[in-house]
Structure 1
Amino acid sequence: MENESIIKVMHGAEMDTKWLQRDFNIHILNLFDTHRASRVLGFPKLSMRICSITTAIKQQIRHSNLQTGGKGL
């Protein structure tokens, strides 16, 4: 992880990198965070739009109820 010649690609790595540093003294160098890049570029939830996926909150709750036996989110 500390080899600068290797590019590391992660998604949403902000907390992971903090925990790795704190708990194991591992420092990730040359990291590209796709989540951070998408936010900087203004593409939140881009993949959902590209795939023409829409999820209404009622659909999410219904799906959750089906998965949890009616206990909801």
Structure 2
Amino acid sequence: MMPLRTIAPRNIQATEDVIRAAQWLAERRGEAFGAAVSTVKARFGISAVEAADAIELALQMRTVRRAFG
């Protein structure tokens, strides 16, 4: 079985819209990111790549919030 993170993390292009989308996603406590790409694209008018960046950033934000409160 392969380890989970075998690929190096991507550099996130953190535009204002991507950060806003990430913050919105991170605030959705307990919710999965199932249809997040299409939801974020529609809600914030960003591309699929930007939506993926927002999801990655939101996951990082959630981790930091759990670690540091």
Give the TM bin, normalised by the shorter chain: under 0.3
Larger Rg: 1
Higher helix share: 2
Q: Which has the higher strand share?
A: 1
Instruction: Determine which structure has greater relative contact order: mean sequence separation of CA pairs < 8 Å that are 6+ residues apart, divided by chain length.
Output: 2
Q: TM-score, normalised by structure 2?
A: 0.28
What is the TM-score normalised by the length of structure 1?
0.27
